[in-house]
Amino acid sequence: MVTLQFERKKEWRNLRHKRSVGEYLAFLSIKYEVNPDKFLYALRSAEEHKESECDNLSIQYRGKIRNELFFLIKSGSVVIAQFPIDEEFLLNKSNYLGNFMETDRTRRFLLKKTRIATSNSIRDVRAGMSHVNVKARILEVAETKYVVTRYGNHASVTKALIADETGTIKLCLWNGQIDSVSVGDTVQIENAQASVFRGERQLSLGKKGTLNSVEVFKPELKPMELPAAKA
């Protein structure tokens, strides 16, 4: 019996309530900007070779329970999804994710993405601004500190230095947010609030802000052919 532990229970619930596996996988391909049928091929390759790559995503095959194949997907060091796929669906070569792109879920996501496209530039962020949307690269993550909040709760906090092509700013991270980023990641920050602390501008997410890893910066090197993994 394969023992599998899911840290991303939300992804599991979403998968259970989806209308089809194809729709869910198509949605993931849009969300993380990979070719849908290349993504499906990478999943099949991971099932055969235990792991595979699809652009900025790494895919790991975790095992099989009955007729369900379990996968874990990362963007850099961040786990973005864990889910089962029906074995018959995955191995059926007549299935194409391109056939599942026109769904309400994907339309809503693309509409939201279009609105986010008008992001703020870091250079233009001023103290007191709210609903700040920024796409930026993580340059540094300071050492985590442990504090007691004004409500008497124990919490961990740190600050990350983020940058876009216009400048840099500090991003305040609390508790679980800290482990969701790594140096070199590119993140999409939405609904953040801007303030000044000890003379430095900073962003905080508050209750309504969100932080998502969208891609990983890699060195500008010429692509090289990697040997195929052995079965």
Residue 217: pLDDT band with limits 50, 70, 90: very low
Name residue, tokens 């920050």: 189
Neighbours of 3 (CB within 10 A): 7
Determine the pLDDT at residue 152. Answer: 80
Neighbours of 24 (CB within 10 A): 23
Neighbours of 21 (CB within 10 A): 18
Task: Give domain limits for the chain.
Answer: 9-114, 119-216
pLDDT > 70 in the chain, percent: 81
Determine the pLDDT at residue 116. Answer: 52
Closest of 14, 29, 43, 15 to residue 99, by C-alpha:
29
Give the pair of three-digit tokens for residue 186: 């590119």
pLDDT > 90 in the chain, percent: 37
pLDDT in tens, 21-45: 888 898 888 888 889 889 999 999 9
Q: Is the pLDDT of residue 8 over 70?
A: no
Closest of 126, 136, 200, 185 to residue 165, by C-alpha:
136
Tell which CATH architecture fits domain 119-216.
Answer: Beta Barrel (2.40)
Instruction: Specify the amino acid at residue 81.
Output: A
Residue pair 209/157 in contact (Cβ under 8 Å)? The answer is no
Question: How far separated are the first and last CA of the chain, in Å rounded?
Answer: 21
Give the pair of three-digit tokens for residue 155: 């919490």
The mean of the pLDDT values for the chain is: 81
Q: How many residues does the chain have?
A: 231
Q: Is the pLDDT of residue 82 over 60?
A: yes
Phi-psi region of 93 (alpha: psi -120 to 50; beta: other; left: phi over 0): alpha
Q: Is the pLDDT of residue 12 over 80?
A: no
Q: Is the pLDDT of residue 229 over 60?
A: no
Between 55 and 218, residue with greater pLDDT: 55
pLDDT in tens, 130-176: 889 999 999 999 999 988 877 788 889 999 999 999 999 999 999 98
Residue 224: pLDDT band with limits 50, 70, 90: very low
Strands 167-174, 200-204: pairing kind: parallel
